[in-house]
Amino acid sequence: MTLGVQSDYISTEQIDQARQSLTRWVFTTAKAIARECGFAWTPRPDAPSTYPDLCAAHARSVESGESLPVSSENSASVILTSPDANYAWRFVHDVTHVERGLSFSLPDEYELALWHLSELEREGFGPHSLEYAFLKADTLGQVIINAVARRFPADQELFDLECQRYGFEQGILREIRRGSS
């Protein structure tokens, strides 16, 4: 599925198919990383929330083979098809943070978002695909919201869908304005 201009009609079915396709890519990627690392993930409310804590948890998982704790919070409204898919995505994101030596600083988060997008593109989901648009909003868009508004979107699913519907830049503006009202 490719995107045209923002005025092009995208059906609910096309959106659902792209979400399912992106979710399959996330699970495939997470499972491949788990095989390579020798450990999986487990959702927990007390998962590491700082880069040093994530590095320590990652090192424990490498040493012991125990699952890496990933945040179980804020996964009710996401662009992926389930909270479980979002936990798998957090695993991919967190492991990549550590393996690439990228902290939680905005420049490092921005770089990591670009890397995730390049990985998605390598798998055949180019910049004009719905899958790419959703991941771009979910990664790069959230970094921009955090940089400008000092917060994350309250409703990730709504934010990602609006970035696709109205265009990336307008979706960001709508989210910034939503938080200031």
Q: What is the pLDDT of residue 11?
A: 86
Residues of the chain below pLDDT 70 = 1-8, 180-181
Q: What is the pLDDT of residue 125?
A: 97
Q: How far apart are the first and last CA of the chain?
A: 35
- Residues in the chain, overall count: 181
Contacts of 73 (CB under 8 A, 6+ apart): 45
Rounded-to-integer distance, Cα 63 and Cα 38, Å: 9
pTM listed for this prediction: 0.91
Q: What is the pLDDT of residue 10?
A: 80
Q: What is the pLDDT of residue 180?
A: 65
> In this structure, what is the dihedral angle of CA atoms 164, 167, 169, 170, given to the nearest 10 degrees?
-100
